[in-house]
Structure 1
Amino acid sequence: MAASRSATARKRALPSLRSSALVLGLLAIGIAGWWWSQRDAAAAVGAYRTATVESGDLRVAISATGTLAAISTVDVGSQISGQVTDVLVDFNDRVRRDQVIARIDPSTYQAQIAQGSAAVSSARANLATAKATLANAEVDYKRKAELVGQQLIARSDVDLAKAARDQALAQVAAAQAQITQQQASTQTSQLNLERTVIRSPVDGVVLTRSIEPGQTVAASLQAPVLFQIAEDLSKMEIVLQIDEADIGQVKSGQGVNFTVDAFPDRAFRGKVQQVRLSATNTNNVITYPVVVSVDNADGVLLPGMTANAEIEVSRRDDVLKVPNAALRFKPADDAAPADGAQAQPRGSLAGEVPKLAQSLQLNPTQQAAFDDALKQMRERMAARMAPTNVPQGGGSALFGRGPGGGPGAGNGNSGGDMSGAMRQRMQERFNQQFAAFRATLDAAQQGKWDAGVNALVGARRAPVYKLVDGQPRLAMVRIGVSDGTNTEVSGDIAAGDAVIVGAQRAAQPKAAQ
């Protein structure tokens, strides 16, 4: 009896064991499939090198090297020759305007002044003699003129008296001219005597001194430079040589950061003051001088220091940025998304125009006109995106298509680039498409709309590839400024997205043992 009950229990337990085994088998198959799919996904992810899209600041700068110098540097020279008797200032001395800084031996010019004074006295004595002779000749002429009227003397005697009078008048004039000449000569000697005292023409600091007491200064051909004085070292300047390829980005008022070797851990600031037009050709390299003004209130910067400067030509705050390698990446043909996979990328105008319209705060009538124009635009896009309507040689970026017929196809980051003529034609078609909508806008809205359309049409576009579920996915983005490492992007991309920057190298087979 007991054996019969045991057999019956075993018969009932068999179906339960079979069901449990079946469940365990199905569970094992599911786990194996999940593991296999995860391994394939991990293998796909591992096939690419990626970078994360970040939000931050981008700063575009032009690097150049220049030399610090005082804004105004005066070369103090000598207009006369002579021996230096006194040098009253030295290097780095502060001087004031009209302060005596050197003297030249004045004895030569003092002697010339004494000689000139004697010559003036002699000329004055000659003048007195000439005047006395003139007075005598005048009296003689008058007397003989009266006698000739009485016919007591001959007419020839009167003519001789008149000639003597005129000759005495000329002698008086010559004596007066001689006095003026000697006075001028003496005045020249007096000026040269004053020039033996060298004075500072400005308030400043002595940078260089090229004379010593006892040295002879020769100023026969040109004025020798005795001192070099910087007028004000609290304000300095840097003259940078900027390449012609970058000079178009440099404007007055732009900020400049620079460092000097004397203070490598300290950053200094300046401002572009002037972009000079005088180009310099050095070995067929054209550069333009750019003057940067520098505040040196603390006096730590010295003339002649080499400045390693960066001119900040553009700055973008809180923008999305990707590595430049992401704009150059193009997947292999077997990994590239098929044509038409994204018939309307959000990076195209069709995806960005609604954002522009939303910023205009449209009323219901204007919104209806915009929706109608956008609908027609998308219909035209769909027709152009059809395989049978793809033009040979590429499509139009207006419809989210890049060169090569595919959406955003292209080589490197040139996929969204267009010629000026193509941009103009695209803008004309766009304006025609939205002409009825634009007519419903007021003047302020029209201005904002036109500016936004110009910015969208003129923007450069490029393809990037995001890694989504282990597969590359094309995204057309607008690109902005670049600092050489990262580039500003906007469009079908967000912070935190993984963009592909390259493919992993295939593992090399091990050499045979």
Structure 2
Amino acid sequence: MNSNAELLRQLKIDKSHRESPGGGNGGATKIALIVLAVLIGLLALGGAAWAWLAHRPVEVTVATAIAPAGAAEAGAVLQATGYVTARRQATVSAQITGTLTEVLIEEGDRVKKGQVLARLEDNALRAGLDANRANAAAARASVVQSQTQLEQALRDADRQEALVGRGLVSRQIAEQGRTQANTYRAQLNTARRQADAADAQVSVGQVNLDYTVIRAPFDGVITDKAAQVGEIVSPLSAGGGFTRTGIGTIVDMDSLEIDVDVNEAYIGRVKADMPAEAVLDAYPDWKIGAHVIAIVPAADRGKATVKVRVALESKDVRIVPDMGVRVSFLERRAEPVADAPKGVLVPAGALARRDNRDVVFVVADDKAMRHDVTLAARNDGEQRLVTQGLAPGDSVIVTPPDSLTDGAAVRVATRPSP
């Protein structure tokens, strides 16, 4: 009991240590203000940290969605690099020198054979053609006049021959009438030749006038526009910096093929019509069927290579001239698989669940874009077949964090092989 009483005495407040009434409230107020300032500072720091973390790019690992194999693999006996080339390509120019009044093409335009690409100033040529036509008309009128004179001279000669038989005129007069008719016949022939020459001048003038209209020589795509309205074009490379030798370049996209340089030490492995497979540098996951057209019978002594022409067995708008390409020459032609699956393959870790849906996040412009996807029943272990929602070549995020949202900023750390 004594010990309990002692404890109670220790818990009592000692009134002698109270602060004076005048200073107690002031001290408590200062302490409260200090605590409030500290809390406000902590909240501000927390908000800044949250804003920085919220906009900080999330570091992610990505992989490339690939198309499943659709053909039986064929062994490659040799690989070589080269470029896509066009066998049919032309720089279109005017056949006469003139000033451009219209340029009707732009890069990327598809044109048809005979389509008007540009026009030159044609006032002088049009006036010359009108003058040639007037001369031709005058020449034809001269032919008509000579024809009429000849017909009259022949009738006069016939009458004089009849009078000679009756003894009314001398034979000399009849011979003079026949000579006059022959003179008119010669004049008629001359007039006809002059009319033909005048008609030829009209044709020349018409051809020169037609030269002021530049047309496409074949179907193709404009890859370069080389001149503008107001510039002078000429088939000759003369006239200074303002004279162009071409209007533009047209390429027949159906004539695209591949030129590769094969080391001369391995050229014996390549045969004409040999199957091959081409992969463009721009689309590394796209395999294009091909075959050898010909081996050019000439070697480059500087590079110790031989040029090989390779045909593309399928045409696509993605294939353009001068693209880099890698060609694999195959032992045999790949056999197609009848039940080739449709879709793309992605790592199983790239799949996530959001709102009870299967989704994949694709990296585009340093942002994570959510794609709702449809999965096939096929399961390839570490890879899953996506039938809808993705395209070959898409960069998908592997193991996306649960906090990742659509449109979030990301930074690619590594890109493992698919």
TM-score, structure 1 as length reference: 0.45
Provide the residue aligned with 2:160 in structure 1.
Answer: 144
Match of 2:102 among 61, 77, 86: 86
Provide the residue aligned with 1:258 in structure 2.
Answer: 279
Provide the residue aligned with 2:131 in structure 1.
Answer: 115
Instruction: Specify the SS of the correspondent of 1:90.
Output: coil
Q: Supply the distance in 2 between the matched residues of 1:128 and 1:302 (Cα, whole angstroms).
A: 62
Provide the residue aligned with 1:307 in structure 2.
Answer: 325
Provide the residue aligned with 1:182 in structure 2.
Answer: 198
Q: Give the deviation of 1:102 after TM superposition.
A: 0.9
Q: Give the deviation of 1:86 after TM superposition.
A: 0.5
Provide the residue aligned with 1:242 in structure 2.
Answer: 262
Distance 1:132 1:220, change over 3 A: farther
Provide the residue aligned with 1:505 in structure 2.
Answer: none
C-alpha RMSD of matched pairs (Å): 3.1
Deviations 1:98-130 (A, max 9, x none): 332211112122112101111012112212321
Q: Supply the distance in 1 between the matched residues of 2:219 and 2:145 (Cα, whole angstroms).
A: 54
Distance 1:179 1:220, change over 3 A: farther
Q: Supply the distance in 1 between the matched residues of 2:204 and 2:231 (Cα, whole angstroms).
A: 24
Instruction: Specify the SS of the correspondent of 1:119.
Output: helix
Q: Give the deviation of 1:60 after TM superposition.
A: 4.1
Is the CA contact (8 Å cut-off) linking 1:130 and 1:171 kept in structure 2?
A: yes
Is the CA contact (8 Å cut-off) linking 1:113 and 1:189 kept in structure 2?
A: yes
Q: Supply the distance in 1 between the matched residues of 2:230 and 2:217 (Cα, whole angstroms).
A: 23
Equivalences for residues 113-262 of structure 1 within 5 A? 113-219=129-235, 224-232=245-253, 236-251=256-271, 252-260=273-281, 262=282
Which amino acid in 2 is paired with 1:226? I
Equivalences for residues 59-458 of structure 1 within 5 A? 59-70=75-86, 72-219=88-235, 224-232=245-253, 236-251=256-271, 252-260=273-281, 262-263=282-283, 265-283=284-302, 285=304, 287-293=306-312, 295-297=314-316, 299-313=317-331
Q: Supply the distance in 2 between the matched residues of 1:266 and 1:183 (Cα, whole angstroms).
A: 64
Deviations 1:153-182 (A, max 9, x none): 333322222111111011112212222221
Structure with the bigger percentage of helix: 1
Moved more, 302-311 or 214-223: 214-223
Is the CA contact (8 Å cut-off) linking 2:99 and 2:232 kept in structure 1?
A: yes
Deviations 1:120-160 (A, max 9, x none): 12112212321232133223312321232233433332222
Instruction: Specify the SS of the correspondent of 2:253.
Output: coil
Which amino acid in 1 is paired with 2:322? G
Q: Give the deviation of 1:77 after TM superposition.
A: 2.8
Q: Supply the distance in 1 between the matched residues of 2:269 and 2:110 (Cα, whole angstroms).
A: 40
Which amino acid in 2 is paired with 1:289? V
Provide the residue aligned with 1:332 in structure 2.
Answer: none
Q: Give the deviation of 1:277 after TM superposition.
A: 4.4
Is the CA contact (8 Å cut-off) linking 1:117 and 1:186 kept in structure 2?
A: yes
Instruction: Specify the SS of the correspondent of 2:285.
Output: strand
Is the CA contact (8 Å cut-off) linking 1:247 and 1:288 kept in structure 2?
A: no
Q: Supply the distance in 2 between the matched residues of 1:301 and 1:94 (Cα, whole angstroms).
A: 15
Is the CA contact (8 Å cut-off) linking 1:238 and 1:294 kept in structure 2?
A: no
Is the CA contact (8 Å cut-off) linking 2:235 and 2:246 kept in structure 1?
A: no
Q: Give the deviation of 1:218 after TM superposition.
A: 2.0
Q: Supply the distance in 2 between the matched residues of 1:314 and 1:204 (Cα, whole angstroms).
A: 34
- Identical-residue share of aligned pairs (%): 26
Q: Supply the distance in 1 between the matched residues of 2:136 and 2:319 (Cα, whole angstroms).
A: 57
Q: Supply the distance in 1 between the matched residues of 2:333 and 2:123 (Cα, whole angstroms).
A: 67
Distance 1:306 1:227, change over 3 A: same
Is the CA contact (8 Å cut-off) linking 1:70 and 1:237 kept in structure 2?
A: yes
Distance 1:128 1:72, change over 3 A: closer
What are structure 2's unaligned runs of at least 5 residues?
A: 1-72, 239-243, 335-418
Is the CA contact (8 Å cut-off) linking 1:210 and 1:226 kept in structure 2?
A: yes
Structure with the bigger percentage of strand: 2
TM-score, structure 2 as length reference: 0.54
